[in-house]
Amino acid sequence: MFIEMDFDSEEALYMQLHDQIILGIAKSLINEGDQLPSVRSMAEEIGINMHTVNKAYALLRDEGFLHLDQRRGAVISIDMKKIENMTHFKNDLKIIMARAVLKGISRDEIHEAVDEICDEWQIEFGKEA
C-alpha cells in the first residue's frame, strides 16, 4: 500500500494517515468506491494502534472522503458539495500560505510550487475532473 508513516514526525499519526489517504485519492492511487483495509488490518499493516486508524477514518468520514459501511467497511466516497470543499480548501490553504510567508517563501515561489504539483499530478485548472 502507498501509506508511509514517519514515526519521528511531530505530526500526530492519525493526521499522517489521514493526509496520506487524501494524497492517495488526489493521485488516483485509490478511487471512488475503493475499499480501504479494515481498521485492524490497516493498523497491523502500518504498525500503529487500531484507535489511531479509527480516528483517521472517522475524520475522513466527517470530511466527506470516506463512507463507513457495515458490510464493506471503509469505502472511498467523495460526496461533499463543491462549496464546502472550497471553504475547507481555502482554510487549509491560508494556514499553509501563512507558514510559507513566515518562512520567507515568496508569492512567485508559492505559484511555482503549485504549478509543479499540478504538473506532477497532471491537473489542469478550469476543467472538470
What mean pLDDT comes out for the span 23-41? Answer: 91
Asked if pLDDT for residue 72 goes beyond 90, the answer is: no
Residue 86 maps to a domain = yes
Asked if pLDDT for residue 106 goes beyond 90, the answer is: yes
Name which of 66, 2, 70, 63 is nearest 34 in CA terms.
66
What mean pLDDT comes out for the span 10-39? Answer: 93
Residue with cell 485492524: 40
CA distance 25 to 31: 6
Residue 44 maps to a domain = yes
17 shares a domain with 69: yes
58 shares a domain with 104: no
66 shares a domain with 24: yes
62 shares a domain with 25: yes
Domain of residue 89 covers 82-121
Asked if pLDDT for residue 48 goes beyond 90, the answer is: yes
Residue 4 maps to a domain = no
91 shares a domain with 42: no
pLDDT of residue 124: 67
What mean pLDDT comes out for the span 36-41? Answer: 94
pLDDT of residue 79: 64
CA distance 107 to 114: 11
Please report, for the domain that includes residue 54, its CATH number.
1.10.10.10
Q: How many residues does the chain have?
A: 129
- pTM value surpassing 0.75: no
Residue 6 maps to a domain = no
Which grid coordinates are listed for 75? 469505502
